[in-house]
Structure 1
Amino acid sequence: MAFRITGLSPEPFQSLFGLPEQDLESLGMKRYIVGSNPGFPDRIEMEDAQLGRSVLLLNHVCQPANTPYRASHAIFIRKWATQAYDAVDQVPQSMQIRLLSLRAFTDAGMMLDAEVAEGIAIEPVIAQMFSNPEVSYIHVHNAKQGCYSGRIDRA
């Protein structure tokens, strides 16, 4: 079964990089200069930021449904990330190199299934989850740090 993985739209985050540290802190955000790679996976272009680049760590509502599964978690956004990742039947490198938690949801935002898998082995898990016609989309989180990683839809 074909699947599509998408990153976040860059628009809501573009103005944040111009804010001073004090303003970021008041918003619950933190700026980092990347000192290791991998380690700072950008959620827009779905790639780990390169050494010396600026990223923001912030809280993102990844599951806005008004259900018990409403959720938010930390994400990294890379300065100058301008094009949201959007690919069919391709798992981005930033996911391939991590242990991931996949969570399958209905249209109404109720969780139906969940699995943990190495990033290089998630395609069969995606196919198995989407074999259930009630599954509308899948959220991916990094299993170790728990950060939201991306969304998978049927293609």
Structure 2
Amino acid sequence: MNTILFTAMPTEEADAFRAGHNDAYGKPAERSVSPGGMPCRHCLGEIADGEAMLLLAYRPFNDLQPYAETGPIFIHERSCPRYAASEVLPPMLESADYIVRGYGHDDRIVYGTGAVTPTAEISQRAASLFERLEIAYVHVRSARNNCYQCRIDRG
């Protein structure tokens, strides 16, 4: 099986949003208090009940193009360490299943790669997608709302 790495939002991006930089829609992040169980896209852990959090529009792509999906994400308002155990399924992935989808080197969806995947099978699914040379990276997205969770890269 291919080695895979779960990749969180870069620290520089998270810190910029915390410092007041605008999100993908040109708006500052909304500050609120977590009701508990909200997934932080930087530490890939949970934002606990009562913790301050930011809600913002995020586009995990460098350039604007038709496949550059933008959607809502949460991050801790306070500084948190970037997810480091990159070969291990992140703790925030607690739903029963997720969409796992491959993207090409041109940052576009590779058709036929998206599948609703049981959480316990995400690593295996990503590794099998990486057997295809046209797959540059994989996204894990909510199976209910299509929200971006994290990226998976080759190890």
Q: TM-score range by the shorter chain?
A: 0.7 to 0.9
Please state whether the residue corresponding to 2:13 is helix, strand or coil.
Answer: helix
User: Matches of 1:153 and 1:10 in 2, distance apart?
Assistant: 17
Q: Which residue of the partner structure matches residue 11 of structure 1?
A: 12
Percent of residue pairs identical: 22
Structure with a larger share of its residues in strand: 1
Name structure 1 gaps, 5 residues minimum.
Answer: none
TM-score, normalised with respect to structure 2: 0.83
CA contact under 8 A between 1:137 and 1:152: conserved in structure 2? yes
Assess, with a 3 A threshold, how the Cα gap between structure 1 residues 105 and 29 changes in structure 2: closer, same or farther: same
> Is residue 93 of structure 1 aligned with residue 91 of structure 2?
yes
What residue in structure 2 maps to residue 103 of structure 1?
A: 101
Counterpart position of 2:49: 51
Q: 3-state SS of the aligned residue for 2:114?
A: strand
Equivalent position of 2:80 in the other structure: 82
* Deviation at residue 105 of structure 1 after TM alignment: 0.9
Aligned alpha-carbon RMSD (Å)? 2.4
Which one has a larger percent helix, Structure 1 or Structure 2? 1
Specify whether residues 88 and 47 from structure 1 end up closer, same or farther in structure 2 by C-alpha distance, changes over 3 A only: closer
Instruction: Give the aligned residue type for 2:15.
Output: Q
